[in-house]
C-alpha cells in the first residue's frame, strides 16, 4: 500500500485521534470545523508547517505505532525536527549489532557505489550536449573507494551552476532556490529514515557521514542518490514560474516525489515503498550475503 504524505500548513488547526483516524479541525471557538480524516495506518509522512497547529500526544503515539514519520517545520518553513518510531521489532538488536560491526572496507565500497550512482543521476539532469554532462560521466568512472579523490565535491562544482545558472552556489543558508532544495532534501531524508528504522537499523550509524551530533547519518548517506530527483523537481518549479518560496504548489511538487515510480533491482514502485528495498539490500551487505546495494533508478530530465 502506498502511504500518504500529509502537509498541514494552514492554521489554526487541531490534529487529534478518533477511532484510529487522524482528524484535522480548523478554526477557533464556534468556527471550529472538521475538514479531513485519514486512517493513521495510511500515513507515511506528516509535515507540520504552521505555528498555530496543535497535535495531541495520542495521535503522535498512534502514528508512531503505524510507522509514520512526523516532520516539524520552523518559521522559515524548513524542517526543524523529525519524530521517528522507537518501537523495536525482533530484528532491531541483532541488526544494530551487525551494523555496528560492519568493517570499514565494506562501508568504503558501499559509499563508492552511492557516489557513483549520485553523479550518474546528476548527469541526467544536464543536457547530453553540455560539456558538464560529459564531465560528470567521466567522474563516475573515477570514483575510488570511500571517494577518496572527492569526486562528489568536484561533481557538485560542475553540476549546480550548470542546472541552476552560472552564479548559483549550493548553500543551505543561501538564496532561492536553495530553500526549495532544502525542503525537498528533508522530505527524502525523512522517507529514508523511516525505512531504516523499519528495518531494525540505527540511523545514526552511517557509511560515510560521521558527526557526533548527527542522529541520521545513515539516512544522509542513502538519500544522496535521491538528491538529483529533488533537483529535477526544483528545476521544473522554476521553469513553470514558481514563486521561489516554499509555497503550497512547491510543497505539492516536492512531497509528491515520495510517490514517484522508481526501479530498485527488478521491481518498480513508489519511492516511499522502494526505500525499504534499498535498506533491505544494505542489510544483506552487512550480513555478508551481498557486496552491493540495490539503489534506485528513475527517469530525469535528459532521458
User: What are the domain boundaries of the chain?
Assistant: 4-83, 92-287
Q: Report whether CATH 3.30.360.10 matches the domain 4-83.
A: no
Q: Report the relative pairing of strands 69-73 and 43-48 from DSSP bridges.
A: parallel
- pLDDT tens, 110-130? 999 999 999 999 999 999 999
Residue 97 neighbours by CB distance under 10 Å: 11
- Is residue 15 within a helix (H) or strand (E), and if so which, with residue range? strand 13-18
Grid cell listed for 150 = 572527492
Query: How many whole angstroms separate alpha carbon 50 and alpha carbon 48?
Result: 6
- pLDDT tens, 182-211? 999 999 999 999 999 888 899 999 999 877
Tell the CATH topology of 92-287: 1.20.120
User: What is the widest separation between alpha-carbon atoms in the chain?
Assistant: 65
| Torsion from C-alpha of 20, 24, 29, 31, nearest 10 degrees | -130
Single pTM value for the model: 0.88
Query: How many whole angstroms separate alpha carbon 123 and alpha carbon 227?
Result: 12
Q: Do 280 and 274 contact (CB within 8 A), yes or no?
A: no
Grid cell listed for 92 = 532491531
Burial zone of 166 (CB within 10 Å; 0-12 exposed, 13-18 middle, 19+ buried): exposed
Mean pLDDT of the chain: 92
Amino acid at each position: 500500500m502506498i502511504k500518504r504524505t500529509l502537509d498541514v500548513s494552514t492554521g489554526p488547526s487541531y490534529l487529534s485521534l478518533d477511532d484510529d483516524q487522524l482528524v484535522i479541525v480548523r478554526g477557533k471557538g464556534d468556527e471550529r470545523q472538521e475538514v479531513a480524516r485519514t486512517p493513521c495506518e495510511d500515513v507515511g509522512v506528516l509535515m507540520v508547517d504552521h505555528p498555530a497547529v496543535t497535535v495531541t500526544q495520542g495521535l503522535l503515539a498512534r502514528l508512531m505505532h503505524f510507522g509514520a514519520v512526523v516532520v516539524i517545520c520552523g518559521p522559515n518553513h524548513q524542517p526543524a525536527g523529525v519524530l521517528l518510531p522507537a518501537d523495536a521489532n525482533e530484528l532491531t538488536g541483532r541488526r544494530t549489532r551487525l551494523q555496528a560491526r560492519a568493517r570499514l572496507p565494506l562501508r568504503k565500497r558501499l559509499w563508492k557505489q552511492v557516489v557513483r550512482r549520485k553523479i550518474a543521476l546528476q548527469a541526467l539532469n544536464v543536457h547530453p550536449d553540455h560539456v558538464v554532462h560529459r564531465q560528470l560521466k567521466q567522474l563516475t568512472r573515477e570514483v575510488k573507494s570511500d571517494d577518496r579523490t572527492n569526486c562528489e565535491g568536484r561533481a557538485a562544482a560542475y553540476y549546480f551552476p550548470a542546472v541552476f545558472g552560472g552564479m548559483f552556489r549550493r548553500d543551505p543558508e543561501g538564496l532561492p532556490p536553495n530553500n526549495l532544495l532544502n525542503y525537498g532534501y528533508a522530505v527524502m531524508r525523512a522517507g529514508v529514515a523511516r525505512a531504516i528504522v523499519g528495518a531494525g537499523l540505527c540511523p545514526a550509524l552511517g557509511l560515510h557521514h560521521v558527526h557526533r551530533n548527527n542522529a541520521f547519518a545513515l539516512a544522509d548517506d542513502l538519500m544522496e542518490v535521491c538528491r538529483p530527483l529533488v533537483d529535477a523537481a526544483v528545476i521544473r518549479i522554476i521553469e513553470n514560474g514558481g514563486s521561489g518560496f516554499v509555497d503550497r504548489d512547491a510543497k505539492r511538487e516536492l512531497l509528491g516525489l515520495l510517490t514517484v515510480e522508481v526501479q530498485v533491482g527488478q521491481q518498480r514502485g513508489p519511492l516511499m515503498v522502494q526505500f525499504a528495498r534499498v535498506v533491505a539490500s544494505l542489510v544483506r551487505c552487512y550480513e555478508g550475503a551481498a557486496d552491493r546495494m540495490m539503489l534506485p533508478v528513475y527517469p530525469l530530465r535528459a532521458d
